[in-house]
Amino acid sequence: LPYFWIGCKMYDLLAGKQGITGSYALGRSKTLENFPMLRADGLVGSLVYFDGQHNDARMNAALAVTAAAHGAVVANHVEVTSLIKERDDDGRERVRGAMVRDNETGAEWAVRARGVINATGPFSDAILKMDEPQMADIVAPSSGVHLVLPSYFSPKNMGMLDPATTDGRVVFFLPWEGGVVAGTTDTRCDVTADPKPSEKEIEWILAEIRRFLSPEVKIRRGDVLSAWSGIRPLVRDPKAQNTKDLVRNHMIHESDSGLITIAGGKWTTYREMAKETVDRAVESFKLRPLRECQTEHVRLIGSHAWSDTMFIKLVQSFGVDLDVAQHLAHNYGDRAWAVCALADRSTQQQQALGERIHPRYPFVDAEVRYAVQYEYALSAVDVIARRTRLAFLDAQAARDALPKVIDIMAAELHWDQARKQKEMRKALEYLTTMGLPDSILQSEDSSSAADRARSGVTNVHTTRTLNLVDPASYYRRGVFSAEEIGAILAAFSEFDRQGDGHIVVADVLPLFERINVPVPEGGVERYLQKAGVDQADMRASVEVEQVFDVLGEIKEAVNAKGRAPRGELNLNQIPTHRSGGGV
């Protein structure tokens, strides 16, 4: 503890006046009082420090519209296909623009400029090779997998960071956007538009979490609401003597033809990165700015009239639900007024203004319209993942919301039925990268997917048949529906001859046969063992909670069949001191 206490105090010192609150130490009892989910065995105490977090989807959208408000031209779903080069007065070849393609329409055109800045994150090498085909890669892409779990696994305003994992990396467990986000890994990967987490990575994170949670807090694969992977663009300096070394922060590189590349870095330093890059462009492209850099004084769209109590005015003025008002104020700032103005008032009557796109989350129909009209949203994935965070919070909830989202977008963008079906298919494909199984794409056309999402899927043939193989329930593999719970309890009560909430080991397999539980390969013995059932004594008692634990594990195994990852996971491929420890 003393070592980490010194580190936290240095953290406070460096933060200076911008610090939130000073760090402090807690003893064992106070630690458990504040974070009762922690494992008590071996716990000495904890250190509490404060940090900020943000919704990066909303932040990115706010940056784009703020740039547009200051005169920038913003284009969505437009791809650079090649660079335009011309000779300058000295006969040197210089980059003077780019050929681009609209991936929505297929149209192509040239964009000419005094200079070009390559700020494409993990895709930086693709642009660099358009300039210099033989150039070595500067990006060392690293996959960081994150899991989102239900909010009850963590206190509302306190998370946990463990620096003592099995591979020396850091694991965090933090309240985030109404859920709990846990992660992360650092694994070398290929650069793809939509990276997909592997089951090995997911299980590693869950195993690390279980190490510091109380044994009474059973966290299962089925509790994972969403699992996603992001690519960190760790970079090498091509001009350094040792090009294998990774740059700790960001790097600006200028090619012989004048292409400026900014790569690496983090959200916390994005304004400094932008300032340094633009200053470099002013110098290299011989630009004549009218004034010095203004980034310290530029506020993002939505911040000008925001206040801590703005959500109260939204409730009073529009009659929105409290959680919706808090969500809109927090994520849109003063633009929440414009969002509320776009709510569908035709079905208001006695209910609150704004129809939710999913009943468990505060996202409303007006946000979809706002995303289309003001934030360049052109696809269903844009809305569920890049304007709202629904797909990141709960992949199955995002799937359920798709029909409503697509209907609203179709009205705004004049989509025909064919386009709506295409959007449904593309969105389902995207959700397979967020933790849902590939089986949601099998034998399922877009219209049937919409009908199923609207009506809900039970697939319970009788009151005594468990719904163990429906792909739509994959994200709840360890959780049972009301019908399933009723079937389990009814069968349990038949074998509970004494009526005391217990059966015996000898009754377990007959009970499973009664409710048609598919027996996994290798039998059920290992699942009974994990649930703490003593199989050596066939007359030993088994509680109903143990039966649910066993069935949950079996349900998970049945649904996960065929999804086992190939190959072993090497979690420590990138030096910890270079990767930022995974944070």
Name the residue with higher pLDDT: 278 or 218: 278
Q: Where residue 483 falls among pLDDT bands split at 50, 70, 90?
A: low
Q: Where residue 248 falls among pLDDT bands split at 50, 70, 90?
A: low
The strand pairing partners of 141, in sequence order, are 233
Q: DSSP H helical segments within 51-111, as ranges?
A: 56-69
**pLDDT for 300:** 95
Q: Where residue 496 falls among pLDDT bands split at 50, 70, 90?
A: confident
In order, the DSSP letters of 147-158 are EEE-GGGS-TT-
Q: What percent of the chain has pLDDT over 70?
A: 85
CB contact at 8 A, 465 and 487: yes
In order, the DSSP letters of 247-270 are ESSEEEEE-TT--EEEEE--GGGH
pLDDT tens sequence across 319-368: 899 999 999 999 999 999 999 999 876 654 445 677 999 999 999 999 99
Q: Is the pLDDT of residue 270 over 90?
A: yes
Residue 179 token pair = 């859920």
pLDDT tens sequence across 460-476: 223 334 544 444 443 44
Nearest residue to 229 via CA among 331, 166, 141, 127: 141
**pLDDT for 65:** 94
Name the residue with higher pLDDT: 484 or 411: 411
Name the residue with higher pLDDT: 40 or 575: 40
Q: CA 203 to CA 221: how far, in whole Å?
A: 7
Q: What percent of the chain has pLDDT over 90?
A: 51
Give the burial string for 48-72 (b: 16+ CB within 10 Å, else e): bbeeeeebebbeebbebbbeeeeee
Q: Where residue 12 falls among pLDDT bands split at 50, 70, 90?
A: confident
Please identify which residue in the block is written with the tokens 């009557």. 349
Q: Is the pLDDT of residue 281 over 60?
A: yes
Instruction: Flag the least confident range among 12-26, 471-485, 507-521, 541-555.
Output: 471-485
* Largest Cα–Cα separation, the chain: 97
Quick count: other Cβ atoms within 10 Å of Cβ 234?
A: 23
Quick count: other Cβ atoms within 10 Å of Cβ 244?
A: 7
Per the prediction, the chain carries an average pLDDT of: 84
**pLDDT for 482:** 58
Q: Is the pLDDT of residue 450 over 70?
A: no
Q: Where residue 488 falls among pLDDT bands split at 50, 70, 90?
A: confident
pLDDT tens sequence across 548-563: 888 877 776 665 544 4
pLDDT tens sequence across 173-193: 999 999 999 988 788 889 998
Q: Where residue 583 falls among pLDDT bands split at 50, 70, 90?
A: very low
**pLDDT for 338:** 94
Instruction: Flag the least confident range among 410-424, 435-449, 478-492, 496-510.
Output: 435-449
503 backbone dihedrals φ, ψ, rounded to 5°: -125, -175
CB contact at 8 A, 400 and 358: yes
pLDDT tens sequence across 62-102: 999 999 999 999 999 999 999 999 998 888 999 999 999 99
Q: Where residue 448 falls among pLDDT bands split at 50, 70, 90?
A: very low
Give the single-character DSSP code of 383: I
Q: Where residue 272 falls among pLDDT bands split at 50, 70, 90?
A: very high
- As a whole number, mean pLDDT of residues 149-161 equals 91
What count of Cα atoms within 13 Å lies in the side-chain half-sphere of residue 181? Answer: 16
**pLDDT for 240:** 65
Contacts of 532 (CB under 8 A, 6+ apart): 546
Q: What does DSSP say about strands 246-247 and 250-254: parallel, antiparallel, or unpaired?
A: unpaired
Q: CA 228 to CA 205: how far, in whole Å?
A: 12
**pLDDT for 186:** 81
Is the C-alpha dihedral spanning 331, 337, 339, 343 positive or negative? positive
Q: Is the pLDDT of residue 564 over 50?
A: no
